[in-house]
Amino acid sequence: MDPVALFTLQLLNALSLSALLFFIALGLTLIFGIMRVINFAHGAIYMLGAYVGVTTQTLTGSFALSLVLAPLAAALLGLAFERSALTRLYAREHSAFLLVTFGLALALTEAIRLAWGPDPRQAELPAALAGIVFVLDEPFPVYRLVLIGAGAAAALALWLLLHRTRLGLLMRAASQNAAMTAALGNDVAAVRAAVFALACGLAALGGALAAPLFTAYIGLGTSVIIDAFVIVMIGGMGSFVGTAVGSLLVGFAQTFGNFYFPELALGATYALMIAVLLLRPGGLFGREE
């Protein structure tokens, strides 16, 4: 294969992987921005999105509907968990939060195993998305291009939400100074609940989008959560731009690393995470606290 074409295809592969990672990392960073905590259950929520997506598709035959129902289900679960469990912990230290979300990850993974069984579930792509296009005379799956578009659309939508709506304004205010935001008469508890639900919905949307590519299996969440942590730590916890850049970095490092330096790629991402945490504890685009 022509090296330029090969490189271009790898580039597109990297972009589509980055787009999927962006959905899950974005939710993590939104939650961190406003609550100063890491949601360990985010990988399990992503996995839930994949399973709900597959089942919606099996029952209704509609891929589009799965992209609506999966985020909706996850957002409702997130809302219920935030209202019932997390609200009790905001006054406590952050480690309690890590532990309780880890508990949710355990419980959710087992609940999924009970509901769907141990066998992987494959989602089918609708005919319109299942084809291939020719990029520099080489075949490339259409769906991966769709993912790149979806990632870009999500980034734009979230940016508009954060910077052009009242909810976005409140989210940014609460992430800078929650006490002051509350003192000005705003309902910070409601903002927190909305952010948690939104973040869970985003992760599940990523899961539903990933299902046709990776299949839904038990363990999907445990592997992806570490990638998301790496992204959020590198980009800067709570930073929107940092998350986008971090997703691209990790997506490219994994795609090109696995292709050109398969021995070193896996370790290099963790080494990068360690270096950033030590040298710039706030991340590349975050602010140090």
Q: What is the three-class DSSP state of 140?
A: strand
Query: Smallest gap, in angstroms, from Cβ of residue 256 to another protein?
Result: 16
Which is closer to another protein, CB of 102 or CB of 256?
A: 102
Of 89, 44, 56, 54, nearest to 192 by C-alpha is 89
How far apart are CB 232 and another protein at their closest, in Å?
A: 9
Helix (H, G, I), strand (E, B) or coil at 64: helix
Residue 158 is encoded by which pair of tokens? 């979230």
Element at 138 (helix H, strand E): strand 138-141
Provide the minimum distance between the beta carbon of 285 and another protein in the complex, in angstroms, as a whole number: 16
User: Which amino acid is residue 267, in one-letter code?
Assistant: G
Q: Where does this chain bind another protein (CB under 8 A)?
A: 36-38, 85, 88-89, 92-96, 98-100, 102-111, 113-114, 222, 226, 229-230, 233, 237, 263-264, 266-267, 270-271, 273-274, 277-278, 281
* DSSP H/E element including 134: strand 132-135
Which two structure tokens, joined as six digits, stand for 63? 């891929």
Between 88 and 287, name the residue whose CB sits nearer to another protein.
88
Nearest to 119 by CA among 54, 69, 46: 54
- Between 208 and 233, name the residue whose CB sits nearer to another protein: 233
With vertex at residue 229, the alpha carbon angle to CA 150 and CA 155, rounded to the nearest 5 degrees, is 25
State the nearest-atom distance from the C-beta of 86 to another protein, in Å.
9
184 DSSP assignment: T
Q: Which is nearer to another protein, 176 or 222 (CB)?
A: 222
* Residue 45 CB, nearest approach to another protein (Å): 14
Task: Assess contact for 171 and 195: CB atoms under 8 A.
Answer: yes
Q: Which is nearer to another protein, 36 or 172 (CB)?
A: 36
- The Cα 125–Cα 210 span in angstroms is 11
Cβ at position 262, least distance to another protein in Å: 8
Between 90 and 159, whose beta carbon lies closer to another protein?
A: 90
